[in-house]
Structure 1
Amino acid sequence: MKVFRSPGRHGYAVEASPFLPRRFACAASQFYGLTGCGSLLVLDDSDSGVTLFRSWEWSDGLFDVTWSETNEHVLVAGGGDGSLQLWDTANHSAPLRVTREHTQEVYSVDWSQTRGENLIVSGSWDQTLKVWDPTLSRSLTTLRGHEGVVYSSVWSPHIPACFASASGDGTLRVWDVKAAACRLVIAAHHAEVLSCDWCKYDQNIVATGSVDCSVCVWDLRNVRQPVARLRAHNYAIRRVKFSPFGSTLLASCSYDFTVRFWDYSQNQQPLLDTLEHHTEFVCGLDFSLHVPNQVTHTHTYTHTHTHT
């Protein structure tokens, strides 16, 4: 396990580069995101440890980050001031573009992965979702329907112009961008849903993580009950991520200071492993797309751990 620390910053999201096997980005804030500034860090994992490649400061907290799927140097971050910023690792000083259409915190950003598509989705505490072109010049559409804060918005890796969102209203929703409409509403939990993610191998499988301490795995063809309900966390689940190397493998991180690994196909004992070396809330989590079983996670004191 390798550790990178950034004093005075609390990590909220981490994402592995889709291009460079040992590079990842971390979105962070001062004072637990309640006040103060934010930082966007680009980090490199080497044999000797995790090192800082590039960093930028922002005037408000940063809560999520996503890499471009077409340009290895470009990434987008979402801020507490309602902004999205387009950053380039070749530019040391300022973002390429800043847009402020959301009226409250941007808590989720994601770059589409389907072939021939190059779109960004953002989810905000203003209860809206917005879809953008890669220049962030202006939003292409605004989608409304959630009755609570939007915590998570993730593109389907299989279906063009389709993404899922999770909200404080307890629902998981599936959206059709071409029709500018919500196609499916799932009452996923009896509590706020803080995260969702699509299975990389099956277009019908989506996972949700909730304040009720459970991870639910859903088959979108039959949503009367989850395929699996995974319980072991003691506090709210901050993020869930499916593995890119196993169709039924996923990870979750929580305010209980742990990261847990699951195989939801194992009905009797789905919990595979638990990492308990954190000393604060674990907020960010991502799998490497290049190195099997390598996971990066960030929490609100020590920024990033890389674990294989």
Structure 2
Amino acid sequence: MIKVFRSPGRHGYAVEASPFLPNRVACAASQYYGITGCGTLLVLDETPRGLVSVRSWEWGDGLFDVAWSEANEHLLVAGGGDGSLQLWDTANQHAPLKVAKEHTQEVYSVSWSQTRGENLIVSGSWDHTVKVWDPSLSRSLTTLRGHEGVVYSTIWSPHIPGCIASASGDGTLRIWDVKAAVCRLAVPAHQAEILACDWCKYDQNIVATGSVDCSINVWDLRNIRQPVNHLLGHTYAIRRLKFSPFSQTVLASCSYDFTVRFWDFGMNPPLLDTVEHHSEFVCGLDFNLHIPNQVVDCSWDETVKIYAPACLSAGSSAAQGAQADD
């Protein structure tokens, strides 16, 4: 069963499931496909009646990414086309708590750290920089320079404090040490722009990249001479990647080919399923941390959808059966 929320005139760029509330998601959306006009930040709840809006805010420029706080269930940060980060509070119906504007071009990626004892935000921008912030957004703590193209994706390691992965239009995946403010590893991951990266939730050495070359590469950072797996199937650029929080080798990808695909890079063939329920670019994608096999995505077709792909349920049933046999 698919639950759908429609946002007329707002084209979805990013969705993220709440780390605290199992029925809550946030969506960053923009007017006119993000080319011009304003942005809208939506907070949606899944109810028996479907997906309903519980809070929304307007911003003067397009919004391209959103991340929930890992320390406070009410806080979230969004990145805008005006180079700003905004800190929003679901208890405040009007304005953001704080706005920071150091980036000189669009903020295309925001991520909130997940490791214990660390409460930081990272942003990636079209200005080629990665910036690290504390939640007050008073001023950036660190600016990381090294990419020679647009920074499309920035992700905190879920395992290693002070460690960030970033993906860029320069074709590289970079691993950063925030304390030392240096790039520890630069991987020539694709011979084309990389729009997405994500870190495996179960292995600190595994990172995936998705590119405009229509491929996904799964990397073991201990040996970057070649990827662990090369996943083919999408027919246009891959916009976002997410590893499953429930299975070490499962990941999902969404693309400008209007599809969401589910993969198990430990299997041959690795493609589990292709979901075709959007009529435009699919830009946002996330797994629910609380409900196994539940996925949320958003598209330029003005919809946010929550569903449970049959391939994930079948995969977990097969794994449980194999464990029982053992």
- Tell whether the structures are fold-level matches, with TM greater than 0.5: yes
Q: TM-score, normalised by structure 1?
A: 0.99
Alpha-carbon distance, 1:301 to partner? 1.5
Alpha-carbon distance, 1:47 to partner? 1.9
CA offset digits 1:17-55 (Å, max 9, x no partner): 000001000000001110000000000011220000100
Structure 1: unaligned runs, 5 residues or longer: none
Q: Does 1:114 align with 2:115?
A: yes
Q: Does 1:300 align with 2:300?
A: yes
Partner of 1:139, secondary structure, is coil
For 2:294 and 2:62, locate their aligned partners in 1 and report how far apart those are by CA, in whole Å.
27
The residue type equivalent to 1:211 in the other structure is V
The residue type equivalent to 1:231 in the other structure is L
Alpha-carbon distance, 1:303 to partner? 2.4
The residue type equivalent to 1:247 in the other structure is Q
Q: TM-score, normalised by structure 2?
A: 0.94
Q: Does 1:289 align with 2:289?
A: yes
For 1:97 and 1:25, locate their aligned partners in 2 and report how far apart those are by CA, in whole Å.
18
Partner of 1:92, secondary structure, is coil
Cα pair 2:294 2:307 within 8 Å, conserved: yes
Q: Does 1:221 align with 2:256?
A: no
Residue number in structure 2 paired with 1:158:
159
Pairing 1:86-235 to 2, within 5 Å after superposition: 86-235=87-236
For 1:47 and 1:184, locate their aligned partners in 2 and report how far apart those are by CA, in whole Å.
47
Structure of larger gyration radius: 2
Partner of 1:164, secondary structure, is strand
Total equivalences in the alignment: 307
Structure 1 runs of 4+ with >2 Å offset: none
Residue number in structure 1 paired with 2:21:
20
Residue number in structure 1 paired with 2:57:
56
Q: Aligned residues: percent identity?
A: 76
Structure 2: unaligned runs, 5 residues or longer: 309-326
Alpha-carbon distance, 1:302 to partner? 2.6
Cα pair 2:9 2:302 within 8 Å, conserved: no
Residue number in structure 1 paired with 2:11:
10
Computed over aligned residues only, the root mean square deviation of the Cα atoms, in angstroms, reads 0.5
Q: Does 1:43 align with 2:9?
A: no
Pick the structure with more strand per residue.
Answer: 1
Cα pair 2:211 2:237 within 8 Å, conserved: yes
Partner of 1:32, secondary structure, is helix
Alpha-carbon distance, 1:114 to partner? 0.3
Alpha-carbon distance, 1:219 to partner? 0.1
Pick the structure with more helix per residue.
Answer: 2
The residue type equivalent to 2:301 in the other structure is Y
For 2:179 and 2:192, locate their aligned partners in 1 and report how far apart those are by CA, in whole Å.
30
CA offset digits 1:125-160 (Å, max 9, x no partner): 000000000111110010000000000000000000
The residue type equivalent to 2:82 in the other structure is D
For 2:301 and 2:280, locate their aligned partners in 1 and report how far apart those are by CA, in whole Å.
6
Residue number in structure 1 paired with 2:312:
none
Residue number in structure 2 paired with 1:78:
79
For 2:70 and 2:254, locate their aligned partners in 1 and report how far apart those are by CA, in whole Å.
25
